[in-house]
């Protein structure tokens, strides 16, 4: 594999890997280090590229594992989701933009309260757009457990958001 082919394959993945790592470690600089480590490891394993059925799932799993290792090394218990960069979206209406920002802030706060497996599964499915099978590979859990975790996470977030909207809690 040439450098050009390698760059082409990993260019589209770097942003997704960064966002995923940033959500786990809670620090953008540390997330950049994790992504850099993943890219270096993939470069060192470029001869074995054909052995992987799904390069994206393999890179996501590697990112997850390295991010968790970095987090454990720092002895941090909670994952701060609010430090990860949010995509910039232009909204024609300032009111709608403010409502959307408030809702996203509430969702991020509620996601922080979820158990780790539910939070990671929801992040990969709803934010990163991964398929259930890919999430099962990344998190190294059975497919039905991925579905259960996502269902429970969404249900919990939905109930909390309804309480906030209805009662201001």
> Considering only CA atoms, which of 75, 69, 17, 73 is closest in space to residue 42?
17
Give the pLDDT score at 92: 59
Give the pLDDT score at 77: 44
Give the pLDDT score at 76: 43
Give the pLDDT score at 86: 58
Give the pLDDT score at 162: 86
3-state secondary structure the chain: CCHHHHHHHHHHHHHHHHHHHHHHHCCHHHHHHHHHHHHHHHHHCHHHHHHCCCHHHHHHHHHHHHHHHHHHHCCCCCCCCCCCCCCCCCCCCHHHHHHHHHHHHHHHHHHHCCCHHHHHHHHHHHHCCCCHHHHHHHHCCCHHHHHHHHHHHHHHHHHHHHHHHHHCC
**Whole-number Å distance between alpha carbons of 50 and 66:** 22
**Could you list the pLDDT tens digit for every one of the 169 residues in the chain?**
567 776 777 777 888 888 888 888 888 888 898 888 888 888 888 777 777 778 788 888 888 888 888 877 765 444 444 555 555 555 457 777 787 888 888 888 888 888 989 988 998 888 888 889 989 988 899 999 999 999 999 999 989 888 877 776 5
Which residues are CB-contacts of 124 (< 8 A; sequence separation ≥ 6)?
A: 20, 60, 130, 134, 135, 138, 139
**Phi/psi of residue 74, nearest 5 degrees:** -85, -5
**Whole-number Å distance between alpha carbons of 104 and 84:** 12
Give the pLDDT score at 79: 45
pTM for this predicted structure: 0.53
**Whole-number Å distance between alpha carbons of 12 and 23:** 18
Q: Which domains does the chain have, with CATH numbers?
A: 1-85 (1.10.1740), 92-169 (1.10.10.10)
């Amino acid at each position: 594999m040439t450098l050009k082919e390698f760059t082409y394959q990993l260019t589209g993945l770097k942003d997704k890997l960064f966002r995923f790592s940033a959500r786990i470690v809670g620090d953008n600089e540390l997330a950049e280090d994790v992504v850099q480590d993943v890219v270096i490891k993939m470069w060192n394993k470029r001869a074995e590229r054909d052995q992987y059925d799904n390069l994206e799932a393999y890179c996501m799993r590697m990112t997850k594992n390295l991010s968790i290792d970095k987090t454990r090394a720092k002895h941090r218990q909670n994952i701060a989701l609010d430090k990860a960069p949010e995509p910039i979206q232009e909204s024609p209406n300032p009111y709608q933009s403010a409502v959307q920002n408030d809702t996203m802030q509430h969702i991020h706060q509620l996601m922080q309260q979820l158990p780790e497996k539910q939070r990671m599964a929801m992040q990969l499915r709803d934010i990163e757009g991964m398929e259930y099978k890919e999430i099962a590979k990344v998190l190294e859990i059975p497919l039905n457990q991925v579905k259960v975790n996502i269902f429970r996470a969404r249900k919990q977030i939905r109930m909390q958001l309804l309480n906030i909207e209805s009662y201001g809690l």
